[in-house]
Amino acid sequence: MPCDGQGPMAMMPSSAEIERAAAILRGGGLVAFPTETVYGLGADARNPEAVARIFEVKGRPQDHPLIVHLPGTGHLDRWAREVPALARTLARAFWPGPLTLIVERAQGVPDAVTGGQNTVGLRVPSHPVAQALLRAFAGEEGERRFDGVAAPSANRFGRISPTTAAHVRADLGGDVAMILDGGACAVGIESTIVDCSRGDPVLLRPGAITAEQIALAAGIAPRPADAEAPRAPGALASHYAPSRPLMLIAAAQWDSALAQIRARRAVLSLREQPPGDTSARWIQMSSDAVRAGHDLYADLRVLDGCDCELILVEAPPPGPQWDGVRDRLSRAATRS
């Protein structure tokens, strides 16, 4: 079943706001909008100049590929040279939802979107605001086709991803023509990415859709990324990072680390704050992986805003349901 990731309190901009945002995109401007994962910084994916503006605003390396967001599975063939049976199977199982499929790109897909690779990442988001925007944007005017929005996370490159419109405003300010407010993102971490371009599935980035779910749908377990895998968004060693150093500490070393570290710290832990602890801020992480993923970036932003020198995070427990959270934290703890 597709994962819609929607909570009961999702906000919906007016139809006039949606139409205005679609017009901005058609005109080459940037629009930030919510998906079920994080807020995206959107541009017309067929307009190289508009896509270049994404890289400029984010400070993103030019060879770092983007994900193209589509209004439905019917648009898949317009972006892929050919759609493997594996990709169609996974699309049926999980779209709309937090899954990105890597396929060989169709002729005419701009290099700016793919980072110069012969593959492209495609996704159909489930958030109702994203769906409304993508449907309003889609169409044709003369010889121009509007059918995909390139949208990395709406923040400065390498930093904590935004899960509310307020996060986008704080990060990008006036660099975006319009921000559509759809409330807090339900999933809270970026989409799972599966490479379907080389036969068997290859997991390039874990997310809310787990490797176990991919295996169940595909009939074969995804392999881990290898040296021949396409470059994928969010796969650099250092990513999703707060401005302050973040230390990821194994549960077995947690107590000793707290006793030894003297720097003024803010804490994200699965445990309650002990009596007498002098941390600048202590946030208890949910023991539920889904809830922890939903809260992760918002919690890190709160801690990053504290009067502290260091952020200490207790490593999540083992298990595939924690792979997405564990991946984001391990990259946030790696300083480039």
Residue 50 within a domain: yes
Full domain range(s) for residue 128: 15-224
Q: Quick one: 202 and 278 in the same domain? A: no
Do the domain assignments include residue 236?
no
- For residues 113 and 26, state if they share a domain: yes
- Calculate ∠ Cα 273-277-281, nearest 5°: 65
Residue 5: what pLDDT? 40
48 has pLDDT over 70: yes
Give this prediction's pTM.
0.95
Assess if residue 238 is contained within a domain.
no
**pLDDT for the residue numbered 238:** 85
Tokens representing residue 323 in the block: 């792979």
What is residue 10's predicted lDDT score, i.e. its pLDDT?
55
In the predicted structure, residue 34 carries a pLDDT above the cut 50: yes
Domain presence at residue 305 = yes
Q: Are 45 and 149 in contact (CB under 8 A)?
A: yes
Q: 51 with 196, same domain?
A: yes
Kindly state whether residues 250 and 326 are assigned to the same domain.
Answer: yes
pLDDT level of residue 6 (50, 70, 90 thresholds)? very low
Name the phi and psi angles at 5, rounded to 5.
Answer: 60, 25
| Domain finish residue from 224, 258, 279 | 224
* CATH code of residue 196: 3.90.870.10
Report pLDDT digits (tens) over 151-191: 999 999 999 999 999 999 999 988 999 999 999 999 999 99
Answer yes or no: do 198 and 261 share one domain: no
Assess whether pLDDT exceeds 90 at residue 71: yes
Q: Is residue 274 part of a domain?
A: yes
Rounded Cα gap, residues 153 and 39, in angstroms: 6
More confident call, 144 vs 159: 159
Residue 275 belongs to domain with CATH number: 3.40.50.11030
216 plus 269 within the same structural domain: no
Residues 200 and 251 in one domain: no
Angle between helices 85-94 and 211-218 (to 10 degrees): 120
Encode pLDDT of 278-328 as tens digits.
999 999 999 999 999 999 999 999 999 999 999 999 999 999 999 999 999
What is residue 11's predicted lDDT score, i.e. its pLDDT?
Answer: 73
The mean pLDDT of 49-65, rounded to a whole number, is 95
pLDDT for residue 4: 42
Count CB neighbours of 49 within 10 A.
Answer: 11
Judged against a pLDDT cut of 90, whether residue 99 lies above it is answered with: yes
What pLDDT, on the 0 to 100 scale, is given for residue 316?
A: 97
* Same-domain status, 195 and 270: no
pLDDT score at 8: 41
68 and 187 together in one domain: yes
pLDDT above 90 covers what percent of the chain? 90
Q: Are both 262 and 189 inside the same structural domain? A: no
User: H-helix or E-strand containing 289?
Assistant: helix 289-304
pLDDT tens, position by position, 208-262: 999 999 999 999 999 999 999 999 998 888 889 999 999 999 999 999 999 999 8
Kindly state whether residue 306 falls inside one of the protein's structural domains.
yes
- Residues 6 or more apart whose CB falls under 8 angstroms from that of 294 comprise 163, 184, 185, 186, 187, 188
Q: What average pLDDT does the structure give for the chain?
A: 94
Same domain, 138 and 253: no
- In this predicted structure, the answer to whether residue 3 has a pLDDT above a threshold of 50 is no
Residue 5 in any domain: the answer is no
Residue 283's closest CA among 312, 255, 260, 259?
312
Is 234 part of any domain? no
Q: Do residues 270 and 328 share a domain?
A: yes
**pLDDT score for 336:** 47
What total of structural domains would you count in the chain? 2
Residues 6+ apart with CB under 8 A from 12: 128, 129, 132, 182
Can you tell me the mean pLDDT for 28-50? 98
